[in-house]
Structure 1
Amino acid sequence: MDFQGNLDHVNPESIEQAKAAGARYRCGPELDITCGDHHHEGDTHLHAWQVLAQLLRHPSCTDIIVDVGLPVMHKDVVHNCKIIFLNGKVLLIRPKMILADDGSAGYCETRWFTPWAKVRQVEEYRLPPCITEVKGQTTVPIGDALLVTCDTCVGFEICEELYNPESPHVPQYLDGAEIISNCLGAYEEFRRPETAVNLVTSATMKSGGCYLYANQRGCDGSLGYYAGEAYIALNGTIVGRAAPYSLQEVEVVVAKVDLEIVRRHKALIRSRCTHAAKTEAYPRVKTDFWLCSDADEGGLSIPPFPTPLAIRQPTPEEQVLGGPACWLWDFLRRSGRRGLLLPLEGDIDSSLTAAIVVHMCHLVVKAVTTGDEKVLSDIRRIIGQEDYVPNEIRDLCRRLVRTLCLHGGEASTCHVALAEALAKEMGSRHTTADLSGAVRAMQSALETASQVKPDAASLQDLLSRLKMSFAFLYARVSTDEKEVKGEEEEEAKQESRDDQLLLLTSANCDLLASGDWVKFGHISGDVNLLGRFPEEVVRGALARASESFALPSLGVVLREHEMRTKKNKKIHEEGEGEEEDEEGGPDGALSLEEVALCRQLQYGEGCGPYSMFGKLCWLWGGRCGVQEIARKVKTFFRNYSNLQHKVWTATPTCYVPGTGPLQDARPIVSSPKWTWQFNAIDLVIRNKGKKEETK
């Protein structure tokens, strides 16, 4: 909802860059004038139109067709719209026709908007007074139409429409559109980063044409990360793209295209021509403007076919390191905090979080080195030093990051040493603290008040909560006032409320699903960067970070984790065969790998207890008996019921579609008995036993 910031990004930044590169059409991302969950507020609509009025008046917006995104209320219905304007006049309002409402991916557009349902139809829209004041324009067409210039025809899609089986670009290309402009606000999807490339190349290969794909970049204030994908596709190849995992707020991708190449490609696809000859016509909005140069009139400078770009998509490990690092940078610079505080446990989760922080610092140094003044201004403000220039990663980490290793007196010496070694390699300011005295004090107070001595497990949970309480207190008071330079004393006092650190916590999604964490305990912080990634990918990302970031301690942490995992697995296997108690017993115990698989079946495959049992019988039939599989399934769902109230209080985590729903909307409290479902499993086992006896 930063209207001024959004205005600056649209103009002068993106439009002036586009014009300087010779572009005659500017396509921006979805809702680039507004964003956030405020579209039911009248102020949002008012301010969006006011921003558009400033764009219409600005001299930079002349002699270039511009499309921007904002909400539009038509006949008391709110639509997500793309507005196309030229030289102070609004040419067309194109509403979104297919909304993104995939709850599992975090999209809930019907919460605010209604899709435009009138295919190939336009109506008259009455413009607000602030737009009319610009050039006296009172109305504009709104609906599903094409834009016709003096030399070509442009069609439009908005985000989800590209991903739908009946994408509008197909009939638009058939009806003569040569360019499709698509503004998007799509999160980076885990394990499927190539989706956008495949869609735009396929669209232009089958139909022939040029496709402009402009996505949002960074963190827009929500949990998701927008990868900043911007592609230009031509006849089945990518001829322009934006840089992946960049901190640059505005990047303009330009490609010079000869439309004769498009026309020839279209004409040579004979089956396409057969369908195009009988397609239903779209309404057309005409404008007296040339998108092309005079090359088609005999000019000497006709661009050849642009060089196709080889697109290398990031691996899952690169996604874990790159996306959260960029997202964290946006979160930090907008939060008003003075740096980061990371508790290190000597485990793989907190160590990978440290690697992501180092990667973020690398991106900051790289951006400043390439001349990004906005990043330089932000890092100076965060650190509080007006003349600081980050040119070395460890130095930036020292100024920006504090690390803590908290233990209760009986901590593994190895873990403390690993945390200290990693902090030294990062360059962070590190502190080790013993909280055993606090635990003893709390224990003594409890025994005095209740005459009950707590058990070891309760004391361990208490230590976990004390760690996070200590970390929050440390984050609030640890800013070094002596390092704040270039500010007046009074101004520094006024900003003292922001002189605290952003507290990072670390827990992968398999750990969260297992329930082996403490409510309001060691993963309760401001931000958790790993809560959407499985342990398998965390291990892979840690190995990659150890090689890429010159952090050899990460390799040691990984080896320690693997040794500990093998030891626990051996204990788990030796414990099998014991008698089952009423809650599942040792035979029903789940390893972290088994929890990960059950979680994938529950969220990824939509399995309840009965169907999960059937799939696991197929997957585990060679190593487990059906009784054992049933016990494991029952244990998983009993734990799930007991876990839900904890998940709702877990630290907000960087969200990536493909790793489960944004929020689990299932009941926060449910019966752990699962009587009907478990009885159905038992019936299957009894029937199987009877069949075997008959044989």
Structure 2
Amino acid sequence: MGHLITVATCSLNQWALDFKGNLARTLESIRIAKERGATFRIGPELEITGYGCADHFLEGDTYLHSWEVLGHILTSKEAEGMLLDIGMPVMHKNVKYNCRVIIQDSKILLIRPKMFMANDGNYRELRWFTPWSKQKTTEEYYLPRMIQKITGQITVPIGDAVIATHDTCIGVEMCEELFTPNSPHIGLSLDGVEIITNSSGSHHELRKLHTRMELIKEATLKSGGIYLYANQQGCDGDRLYYDGCALIVVNGAVVGQGSQFSIGDVEVVTATIDLEDIRSLRSSCSRGIQAASSASYRRIQANMALSDGRLEDNPAIVPTVIRPVFYHTPEEEISLGPACWLWDYLRRSKTSGFFLPLSGGIDSCATATIVASMCRLVVQSCAKGDKQTIADARQVTGESAETGYIPTDPQEFAGRIFHTCYMGTANSSADTRARAKELAETIGSYHVDLNMDTVVAAMQALFTLVTGKTPAFRAHGGSNVENLALQNIQARLRMVIAYIFAQLLPWVRGRPGSLLVLGSANVDECLRGYFTKYDCSSADINPIGSISKADLRRFIAYAQLAFNMPVLESFLHATPTAELEPITENYVQADEVDMGMTYDELTEFGRLRKVYKCGPYNMFTKLVHLWSDKLEVSEIAVKVKRFFFYYSINRHKMTTLTPAYHAESYSPDDNRFDLRPFLYNASWSWQFEKIDRTVFVLEKEQEELKRQK
């Protein structure tokens, strides 16, 4: 029998600046870990404050309250007999650091600051924190007096060091540090550290988990060791959804994996591991040569052993077995991630439900289906007896605990909190109206069907009264300017109608509160600017704003079977249309015709622009190779120039974009993720002229090749 230890990691649904709630969830995770026999527990990055405090990390109050919360943990019964790794911000010598605080039995052993910051994409850590640049070096940190009274310590080590227990050694690697080329886990493992922790605030992005999982497995595959990964889970106050998936990995193999999506607030993952397995894997000669010459870390002594002799003497207790890694499909990710995000937003905003303009198209259909998925998750959580979910469901529906209300049916619950509305005009079709009504009935939403022609006519009449001019649609002989303006009148009035209904429908139904308005513009429309500024895409939140049209179609095809919703079949075959122009014998408005590009092409443009950082010329040259089998060089040039022209003239719309669930690496969200100008010279004269010259050269070369044949 070897040296068996039980360790714990967790995913916590922390909320920015919710110190009381964050403390309760942290203590609950410690209690569960201890109950399962763990002697060591780690939590997510910045678990005391919540990861998403943003500029609140610049405020002294944030640091004061963090120490107050840590004081409660130090004196709690839950923490007794445990070695704990807690996340909080710490100010040292007037410099702010993102730190791990390692504590044991009312003592602080080490404050370990983060050394490499996440500072691209959605992350701005260098705005708030300074990286610890003194590798393998510690200093003395003077504790606040309130903590001195608890621990009896005046100073504690702060810096890059490791914790030595009686039977093993523990080191820290924080979030971004795993993704850097020269990650700390390499030096830690060579110095004999057997347990490496990674406390993270990592957000969900479609198809991203594979990358994270492979990096975590690789961290111990050749170096050996135990890797504990903890992550934030849920929406802590912004566009991001932190997707949990706490992990325990031993020698490159997963022995513990938490859920990636959950509406629960606390999830703890534990595993029993034999330390001898690590020592056996590390016995190779070449590793020994490298380890013998590696620089050492300072070892901070913890007066305890993680292993328990009772485990080793009991042959019935064996190490946790290796398990296969579980991944959700992208369609499942769409059904779960935005649904969990919506639930967090709903229950924490203290509103009474959602209001969605339901057009009969696939985008609003996908949004409604995600709400239906949320209702299913709530019912499933209540069926498991989750007290927090039951309390939140009662709060949202306005039910008191005395009524004993517990959601048991997703459609019944949707009927209480989800409100949909079809806002028809003379340009709407019977098909879209019927699809919207059938979808609402299937989901169970409180549905309103209305015609807004009189409101539109009143606006047009007001304009004619003031100017003496009467604009006409293109189908009726009007100019393009008139045609666009008349479309925008309808779109913007829908936003006004959505908000008055969202405020008053609960009152109509005799219920308190108001509703959150949901937007339903997809990432490709936002990228192209193919929506009206301040139309019904202007909402409170948007669960699909960073999901492509292609992925939404795949999600609807999945949900049709997974949720038993046959009505979704009709949405898959419907031509995407705004239905803002009159339908004639010769013309039916279609999105892709209006845009001059397909949704699949927009996805390609988006990835090249954002992920591969292409300007117009670089994008053109890449697409010449990618699309050479289906388009002529001149056609590719036209499409690229058209994309950048419309992207440029519509970029200003991103400044008012509805806060959307972040799910895609090419999101054009100007507010946090995609920091590009919104005022461009839309002619792109230098770039477009170079494209034209290259087209001329390539076409001449092609002509020459044809002649030679």
What TM-score do you get using the length of structure 2 for normalisation? 0.90
Does the 8 Å contact 1:219/1:225 carry over to 2?
yes
Bigger Cα displacement from structure 2, 196-205 vs 363-372: 196-205
Structure 2 residue matching 1:256: 3-state secondary structure: strand
The one-letter code matched in structure 2 to 1:59 is K
Does the 8 Å contact 2:273/2:320 carry over to 1?
yes
The one-letter code matched in structure 2 to 1:404 is C
Structure 2 residue matching 1:63: 3-state secondary structure: coil
Alignment of 1:552 with 2:580, yes or no, is: no
Q: Which residue of 1 aligns with 2:486?
A: 459
Does the 8 Å contact 1:514/1:639 carry over to 2?
yes
Structure 2 Cα separation of the partners of residues 88 and 393 of structure 1? 46
Q: Which residue of 1 aligns with 2:465?
A: 448
Q: What's the offset of the Cα at 1:455? A: 3.2
Q: Which residue of 1 aligns with 2:663?
A: 656
The one-letter code matched in structure 2 to 1:677 is Q
The one-letter code matched in structure 1 to 2:42 is C
Q: Which residue of 1 aligns with 2:425?
A: 408
Q: Which residue of 2 aligns with 1:125?
A: 141
Alignment of 1:17 with 2:37, yes or no, is: no
Listed as ranges, the gaps of 5+ residues in structure 2 are: 1-16, 474-482
Q: What's the offset of the Cα at 1:478? A: 0.7
Structure 2 Cα separation of the partners of residues 539 and 588 of structure 1? 19
Deviation by residue 1:613-650 (Cα, 9 ceiling, x = unmatched): 11222223333332222222211111111111112212
Q: In structure 2, which of residues 17, 42, 64 is the aligned counterpart of residue 27 of structure 1? A: 42
Evaluate the alpha carbon distance shift between residue 74 and residue 306 of structure 1 in structure 2; reply closer, same or farther with a 3 A threshold: same
Deviation by residue 1:399-423 (Cα, 9 ceiling, x = unmatched): 1111111011331100000000000
Q: In structure 1, which of residues 671, 685, 691 is the aligned counterpart of residue 695 of structure 2? A: 685
Q: What's the offset of the Cα at 1:303? A: 4.1
Structure 1 residue matching 2:222: 3-state secondary structure: helix
Structure 2 Cα separation of the partners of residues 449 and 77 of structure 1? 61
Structure 1 residue matching 2:173: 3-state secondary structure: strand
Structure 2 residue matching 1:26: 3-state secondary structure: strand
The one-letter code matched in structure 2 to 1:30 is E
Q: What's the offset of the Cα at 1:482? A: 6.2
Does the 8 Å contact 1:193/1:314 carry over to 2?
no
Where in structure 1 do 4 or more consecutive aligned residues deviate above 6 Å? 562-565, 692-695
Structure 2 Cα separation of the partners of residues 450 and 623 of structure 1? 49
Does the 8 Å contact 1:81/1:95 carry over to 2?
yes
Q: What's the offset of the Cα at 1:25? A: 0.7
RMSD: 2.2
Structure 1 Cα separation of the partners of residues 337 and 702 of structure 2? 53
Does the 8 Å contact 1:187/1:657 carry over to 2?
no
Q: In structure 1, which of residues 637, 640, 646 is the aligned counterpart of residue 653 of structure 2? A: 646
Alignment of 1:139 with 2:155, yes or no, is: yes
Q: In structure 2, which of residues 433, 450, 462 is the aligned counterpart of residue 433 of structure 1? A: 450
Structure 2 Cα separation of the partners of residues 554 and 690 of structure 1? 49
Deviation by residue 1:121-178 (Cα, 9 ceiling, x = unmatched): 1110000111011132110000000100111101111111111111101111111111
Q: Which residue of 1 aligns with 2:194?
A: 178
Does the 8 Å contact 2:607/2:665 carry over to 1?
no
Q: Which residue of 1 aligns with 2:629?
A: 622
The one-letter code matched in structure 1 to 2:448 is T
Does the 8 Å contact 2:108/2:151 carry over to 1?
no
Q: Which residue of 1 aligns with 2:497?
A: 470
Evaluate the alpha carbon distance shift between residue 243 and residue 593 of structure 1 in structure 2; reply closer, same or farther with a 3 A threshold: closer
Q: In structure 2, which of residues 247, 271, 278 is the aligned counterpart of residue 255 of structure 1? A: 271
Evaluate the alpha carbon distance shift between residue 330 and residue 50 of structure 1 in structure 2; reply closer, same or farther with a 3 A threshold: same
Structure 1 residue matching 2:265: 3-state secondary structure: coil
Does the 8 Å contact 1:355/1:549 carry over to 2?
no
Structure 2 Cα separation of the partners of residues 410 and 608 of structure 1? 39
Deviation by residue 1:310-341 (Cα, 9 ceiling, x = unmatched): 12211111111111001111011111110111
Alignment of 1:76 with 2:94, yes or no, is: yes
Structure 2 residue matching 1:552: 3-state secondary structure: coil
What TM-score do you get using the length of structure 1 for normalisation? 0.92
Count matched residues. 661
Q: Which residue of 2 aligns with 1:602?
A: 609
What does residue range 159-198 of structure 1 map to in structure 2 within 5 Å? Answer: 159-198=175-214
Structure 2 Cα separation of the partners of residues 622 and 300 of structure 1? 67
Listed as ranges, the gaps of 5+ residues in structure 1 are: 485-495, 576-585
Q: What's the offset of the Cα at 1:507? A: 1.4
Structure 2 Cα separation of the partners of residues 563 and 556 of structure 1? 14
Structure 1 residue matching 2:282: 3-state secondary structure: helix
Structure 2 residue matching 1:29: 3-state secondary structure: coil
Evaluate the alpha carbon distance shift between residue 209 and residue 688 of structure 1 in structure 2; reply closer, same or farther with a 3 A threshold: closer
Q: In structure 2, which of residues 512, 533, 549 is the aligned counterpart of residue 535 of structure 1? A: 549
Alignment of 1:4 with 2:20, yes or no, is: yes
Evaluate the alpha carbon distance shift between residue 295 and residue 59 of structure 1 in structure 2; reply closer, same or farther with a 3 A threshold: closer
Q: What's the offset of the Cα at 1:383? A: 0.4
Does the 8 Å contact 1:70/1:80 carry over to 2?
yes
Alignment of 1:58 with 2:76, yes or no, is: yes
Structure 1 Cα separation of the partners of residues 168 and 555 of structure 2? 47
Q: Which residue of 1 aligns with 2:336?
A: 322
Structure 2 Cα separation of the partners of residues 135 and 198 of structure 1? 40
What does residue range 241-640 of structure 1 map to in structure 2 within 5 Å? Answer: 241-267=257-283, 269-295=284-310, 299-301=313-315, 303-386=317-400, 387-456=404-473, 457=483, 458-480=485-507, 484=511, 499-561=513-575, 589-640=596-647
